[in-house]
Amino acid sequence: SESKKFRLAVIPGDGIGKEVVREGLRVLDFFEQNSGGKYSFESDFFPWGCEYYLEHGKMMDEDGVDKLRDYDAIYFGAVGFPGVPDHVSLWGLRIAICQGLDQWANIRPVEFLPGVPRRLNHPEADKLNWVLIRENSEGEYSGVGGRNFTGRGPGKEVAVQSSLFTEHGCERIIRYAFDLARTRKRKKVTSVTKSNAQQFGMVLWDEVFEHVSKEYPDVETDQWLVDAMAAQFVLRPEELEVVVASNLFADILSDLGSALSGSLGIAASANLNPERRTPSMFESVHGSAPDIAGKGIANPIGTIGSAALMLDHLGLQEEAEQLNQAIRETTRQGYLTRDLGGTHNTEEITDAIIDNLGKIQ
Ligand code: NAI
Ligand code: MG
């Protein structure tokens, strides 16, 4: 039979992004070598990020988004480093790619891995299995606003930062959440807004949620304000399954979720263009962690878990499931980096994951 070649655009980025992407690629190499010639990965590396910015005055090439368009997937590390303002690095690369390629659904599973010290005092934490669905194209990250309004004088500057919600944008992400919920055990969607205070965009979101929910009578629904939801993550975690929220709220809640499950270092994510008109991008939830960069101690699980989401997206469902199983086995055996209270380094975690994969296959 024919061998399938997957073309990957790899953007390691900054700080620990480079260290963890390297590990993810080792895992993909393992799969390729054991695929019996069924498939292979061909990686092209793009050196974009803050170092590139300091040298070239831009985070990526002007036609960067177009250069990525023909790949099967994008594998991303993290972006941001002291010396370049965070808004410049984030807008110049990650947001430019997500919005430029219309990767409008950001999927962020939160799994409570075995063997990881509990941060959440809950008798059945091991059974929790959340997935956050983040609107990834508009909302608070629409970039609408401005500064330096003229004539106000020193000390009187005004800045405007507007959120932009479209019916189309709300509907497609909410529908995505319902479709996903249908494939899961609990079949429940929780929508998060702040429509008591944000009376335009978030009320539109709520109305779309109610209208879409009528088409899914088999799916249970719940609606929360974001402040109360933050408390609910801690107080009633068993009530959550699929959680859908705006760009900013889901970003915040996913850091809360990953911290409750152990560490930011284990959270994976997929920036999807569900219509598959453009390549999707797979990256950990965490940033470039300058405080631990270069030490070889970053937890690679978030980025390796993102490779599992990528395998699934590429049609390699069995491999994706094997990889998730190998990750669970690795933490169960006590291979933990420092963020999880362990002493293992980045490479040792990957070695253990690959070792476990070898036993599973
Ligand atoms: P961060 O996620 O980089 O780090 C927060 C804390 O978590 C740090 O103490 C760090 O050491 C720890 N941490 C994160 N990932 C870890 C891992 N894999 N293993 C062990 N510990 C880990 O967030 P921070 O410090 O707010 O931002 C640092 C830079 O990253 C900034 O420039 C920021 O703009 C950027 N950033 C980029 C993102 C992206 O590329 N998607 C997402 C979030 C932040
Ligand atoms: Mg974040």
- Establish if 332 belongs to a structural domain: yes
Q: What's the domain count of the chain?
A: 2
| CA 58 – CA 48 distance, rounded (Å) | 9
Domain boundary among 211, 245, 261: 261
Q: Are strands 73-78 and 280-284 parallel, antiparallel or unpaired?
A: parallel
Residue 111 forms part of a structural domain: no
Going by C-alpha positions, the residue among 246, 13, 21 that lies closest to residue 139 is 246
Ligand nearest to the CA of 293: 1
Secondary structure class of 172 (helix, strand, coil): helix
Asked if residue 256 and residue 281 are part of one domain, the reply reads: no
- Final residue of a structural domain among 261, 288, 305: 261
8 A C-beta contact, residue 304 and residue 330: no
Token pair recorded at residue 116: 């990881």
Element (H, E) at 33: helix 16-33
Q: What is the dihedral of CA 301, 131, 325, 287, to 10 degrees?
A: -10
Cα 198–200–206 angle (5° rounding)? 85
C-alpha 334 – ligand 2 centre gap (Å): 27
Last residue of a domain, one of 261, 283, 302: 261
Same domain flag for 24 and 159? no
Inside any domain, residue 86: yes
Helix (H/G/I), strand (E/B), else coil: 164:
strand
Q: Residue 11: nearest ligand to its CA? A: 1
User: For residue 345, which ligand has an atom nearest its CA?
Assistant: 1
Instruction: Name the helix (H) or strand (E) containing 324.
Output: helix 317-332
Structure tokens at 134: 């983040």
Residues 216 and 248 in one domain: yes
Give domain status of residue 113, yes or no: no
* 187 and 239 fall within a common domain: yes
Q: DSSP letter at 316?
A: -
**For 172-192, what is the mean pLDDT?**
97
Ion ligand 2: residues, CB within 5 A, are 251
Q: Looking at residue 1, what is its pLDDT? A: 61
Find the DSSP H helices in 141-200.
167-182
> How confident is the model over 304-317, as pLDDT tens digits?
999 999 999 999 99
Neighbouring CB atoms inside 10 A of 69's CB total 13
Ligand 1: centre distance to CA 287 (Å): 3
Decide if 89 is inside a domain: yes
Q: What is the CATH number of the domain that holds 255?
A: 3.40.718.10
Residues 213 and 276 in one domain: no
Query: Which residue's alpha carbon is at the smallest distance from atom 36 of ligand 1?
Result: 287
- Smallest CA separation from ligand 1 atom 6, residue: 289
pLDDT at 159 over 70: yes
Question: Which protein residue has the closest C-alpha to ligand 1 atom 30?
Answer: 287
Asked whether residue 125 is domain-assigned, the answer is: yes
The verdict on 347 and 289 lying in the same domain is yes
Any ligand 1 atom below 6 A from CB of 79: yes
Cβ proximity of 142 and 162 under 8 Å: yes
Q: Is residue 112 part of a domain?
A: no
Assembly ipTM: 0.98
> Distance between CA atoms of 328 and 210, rounded to whole angstroms?
37
Q: Are residues 83 and 205 located together in one domain of the fold? A: no
pLDDT single digits (tens) 17-38: 999 999 999 999 999 999 999 9
pTM for this structure?
A: 0.96
Q: Are 37 and 277 within 8 A, CB to CB?
A: no
Q: Which atom of ligand 1 lies nearest, measured to the CA of 302?
A: 18
Q: Which residues pair with 8 in a beta bridge?
A: 43, 73
Asked whether 287 lines ligand 1 (CB < 6 A), one says yes
What are the tens digits of pLDDT across the range 262-286? 999 999 999 999 999 999 999 999 9
Q: Which of 50, 286, 291, 347 to mutate to test the pocket of ligand 1 (most atoms within 8 A of CB)?
A: 286
Cα gap 316→254, rounded to integer Å: 26
Paired tokens of 250: 């889901």
Residue 94 domain boundaries:
1-106+268-361
